Structures are given as structure tokens and as C-alpha cells.
Amino acid sequence: MDEQTPSVLLQTPSWLLTQSAAHAGRIIGEAFAAGGARMYHFRLLATLVEFGPASQAALGRHTGIDRSDVVAALNELAADGYVDRTPDPEDGRRNIITLTASGRRQHKRLAALVAQAQDEIFAPLTPADRARLITLLGRLLAHHQTGS
């Protein structure tokens, strides 16, 4: 590792995680920029692919994106023809967001960019190491999301 970094930091998991996350964020950001998209776009499209049509509020809950950012990102996706907004027949004050065929294709393109970025980020890890890391990070995230 970096000879300029104090050894105590190199033995501190939170510091290592923060530094790794910064590099991962940069790599992912560059991948999305190359695809003319942003992470919010991918998160929203992936949610629609997995869960189907949803209200803007439900999309915010599924993705962890703030409501105002959901609206802005959906405006961009709608302008590109990736999603349709229609009034909710049960509540006219609410919109239902539906993925278009073009949106499904965009999701596949972005998923391929994410996969390439994952390969770059985690290049030094074996598939078993990656699986273990996913398990450990998932456990940490679940713990902190539930406030346990």
C-alpha cells in the first residue's frame, strides 16, 4: 500500500472502506458518464425492471433517492423516452412510472457498464473474495439500516 499513509489508517477498516468507496465512486461515475447516464438513472431503471411500475414515492423508497432527486432523474429519463408517467387511477394526485421498451434496453446497456466497472474495481479479488465481500458489506448495511 501507500508508504505515505500512516499504518494505523491502513489497519482501520472504516478508513479503508471510505478510500475504496471513493475510488469505486469515481470508476462508476466515469462508466455512467461514458454511457450518457447517471447512477440515479440506473437505480431507477433497475428498480422498475425488478419491481414493475411504481409511484415516484415508491421508487424513492426502493432506491434511497431523495424525492426531489427522483423527480429530476425521472424527468431526464422521461425526456429520453425511457419511462412513461401516467396518472394513478386510484389517486389522481400521484403518477405511476412505467418502463418503456427503450428504457429496458437502456437498463441492459447500463448494467453492462456497471459489470465492467465492477471488474475494474474488484480486479485484485478472486470470485470467492468478491462473494465474501458482498456478504460482509450486505451484513454491515443491513445492521446500520435497521439501527441495530
Of the pLDDT bands very low, low, confident and very high (cuts 50, 70, 90), residue 1 is low
Residue 129 identity (one-letter amino acid): D
Q: What is the pLDDT of residue 89?
A: 87
Q: What values do phi and psi take at 92, rounded to 5? A: -60, -15
Q: Which domain holds residue 43?
A: 14-146
The CATH number that applies at residue 77 is: 1.10.10.10
The tens digit of pLDDT for each residue in 33-45 reads 998 999 999 999 9
β-pairing, 83-88 vs 54-55, is unpaired
DSSP 52: -
Over residues 8-18, mean pLDDT? 93
Calpha distance 96→120 (Å, rounded): 36
Q: What values do phi and psi take at 78, rounded to 5? A: -65, -40
88 lies in some domain: yes
Q: What is the pLDDT of residue 66?
A: 94
Q: Does pLDDT of 6 surpass 70?
A: yes
Q: What is the pLDDT of residue 148?
A: 56
The tens digit of pLDDT for each residue in 61-105 reads 999 999 899 999 999 999 999 999 999 888 878 899 999 999 999
Q: What is the pLDDT of residue 147?
A: 65
Q: What is the pLDDT of residue 17?
A: 94
65 lies in some domain: yes
1 lies in some domain: no
| H-run or E-run covering 22 | helix 13-34
125 lies in some domain: yes
Contact 141, 148 (CB under 8 A): no
Contact 74, 85 (CB under 8 A): yes
Q: Which residues contact 120 (CB under 8 A, 6 or more apart)?
A: 27
Domain count, the chain: 1
Contact 78, 84 (CB under 8 A): yes
Q: What is the pLDDT of residue 55?
A: 94
Of the pLDDT bands very low, low, confident and very high (cuts 50, 70, 90), residue 145 is confident
Q: What is the pLDDT of residue 80?
A: 97
Contact 27, 117 (CB under 8 A): yes
9 lies in some domain: no
97 lies in some domain: yes
